[in-house]
């Protein structure tokens, strides 16, 4: 699906979708543009995702947009952003969902890297474990409901400012038992975080989310990912398909003082090229992650 270039943000401010008035644009992606809206009936701010019908050229793209709403609607978990309404008018399909006030994990990692004190340029490991444990709990719940996210990455984990609660967003390419538009050989997801079987367009299951979460864990602890061909998506994709065991330029423990040998084993098991070598499920991953004791860190770097 093409990016929604047809949307004129200024023209849409003040427009109503159901009983929601658009206030300002938040961002755009492959599955639509997202706005802050004001829900008149409950007097609250919400997020509104729009997909222009001009961009939904095929039945599969329209079905994908509807499936995202229907998928999230069946999920009820404190770490998954809920959806309130789905609808359409003459120009757009739209979703209305909870507006999360906060920053995504990718921004938190990037902001830490800019800290003036070298010893504070990485997120505290205890915080990383807390965030990823919540993510794994939510993913395990979703998997139990037959939903595989397929696009876990730092940008899709938002930390709510008021509660510090991590929330998984963007189920736009989630795989469900009822999704009929997926075809063998179809690559979905973000190349950087996609599992090898996902990159190859093979059938995926819950273990692709475990792989992606393992890479997010690595990145959050190290402040970055030492991936070969990281700046070239085509080469990175080919490496994941043909030589996934050569993905890392150096082992995790060589990238961060927060990653000891035990954490390295946790990360490498999560991102094992063969799905059969990964954690059996999110509950096992979460338990082993929770049992890890972070190595001694610099004074002042063990708090939020």
The answer, yes or no, to whether residue 216 has pLDDT greater than 60, is: yes
Residue 205: pLDDT band (50, 70, 90) is: very high
pLDDT band at 2, cuts 50/70/90?
Answer: very low
Domains of the chain in start order, with CATH, are: 9-98 (3.30.200.20), 102-291 (1.10.510.10)
Least confident of 124-128, 173-177, 214-218, 233-237: 173-177
pLDDT at 300: 41
Task: List, for residues 254-281, the tens digit of each pLDDT value.
Answer: 999 999 999 999 999 999 999 999 999 9
- 132, with CB counted inside 10 A (0-12, 13-18, 19+), is buried
Write down the pLDDT at residue 49.
87
- Average pLDDT of span 29-42: 84
Tens digits of per-residue pLDDT, 73-85? 788 999 999 888 8
Beta-bridge mates of residue 227:
248
**pTM attached to this predicted model:** 0.87
Which residues are catalytic, by number? 151
Per the CB < 8 A criterion, the answer to whether 134 and 79 are in contact is yes
pLDDT at position 177 over 70:
no
CB 104 within 8 A of CB 111: no
Look at residue 176 and tell me whether its pLDDT is greater than 80: no
Q: What is the separation of C-alpha 162 from the centre of its chain, rounded to a whole number of angstroms?
A: 20
Q: pLDDT digits over 182-193, tens only?
A: 445 567 789 999
pLDDT tens digit sequence for 66-120:
776 777 778 899 999 988 888 888 888 888 989 999 999 999 999 999 999 998 9
User: Residue 129, by phi and psi: left (phi above 0), alpha (psi -120 to 50) or beta?
Assistant: alpha
User: Is residue 59 pLDDT above 70, yes or no?
Assistant: no
């Amino acid at each position: 699906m093409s990016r929604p270039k047809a949307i004129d943000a200024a023209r849409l401010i003040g427009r109503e979708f159901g009983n929601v008035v658009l206030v300002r644009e938040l961002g755009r992606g492959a599955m639509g543009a997202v706005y802050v809206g004001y829900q008149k009936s409950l007097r609250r701010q919400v997020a509104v995702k729009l997909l222009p019908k001009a961009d939904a050229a095929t039945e599969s793209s329209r079905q994908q947009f509807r499936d995202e709403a229907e998928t999230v609607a069946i999920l009820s978990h404190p770490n998954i952003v809920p959806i309130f309404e789905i609808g359409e008018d003459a120009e757009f399909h739209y979703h209305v969902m909870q507006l999360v006030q906060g920053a995504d994990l990718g921004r938190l990692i990037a902001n830490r890297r800019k800290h003036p004190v070298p010893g504070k340029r990485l997120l505290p490991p205890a915080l990383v474990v807390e965030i990823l444990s919540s993510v794994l709990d939510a993913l395990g719940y979703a998997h139990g409901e037959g939903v595989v996210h397929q696009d876990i990455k730092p940008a899709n984990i938002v930390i709510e400012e008021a509660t510090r609660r991590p929330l998984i967003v963007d189920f736009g390419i989630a795989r469900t038992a009822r999704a009929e538009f997926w075809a063998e050989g179809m690559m979905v997801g973000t190349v950087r975080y996609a599992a090898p079987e996902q990159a190859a367009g093979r059938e995926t299951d819950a273990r692709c989310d475990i792989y992606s979460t393992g890479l997010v864990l690595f990145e959050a602890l190290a402040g970055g990912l030492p991936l070969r061909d990281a700046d070239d998506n085509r080469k990175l994709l080919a490496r994941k398909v043909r030589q996934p065991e050569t993905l890392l330029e150096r082992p995790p423990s060589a990238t961060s003082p927060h990653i000891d040998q035990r954490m390295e084993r946790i990360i490498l098991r999560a991102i094992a090229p063969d799905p059969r070598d990964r954690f059996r499920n999110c509950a096992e991953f979460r338990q082993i992650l929770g049992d890890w004791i972070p190595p001694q860190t610099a004074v002042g770097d063990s708090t939020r």
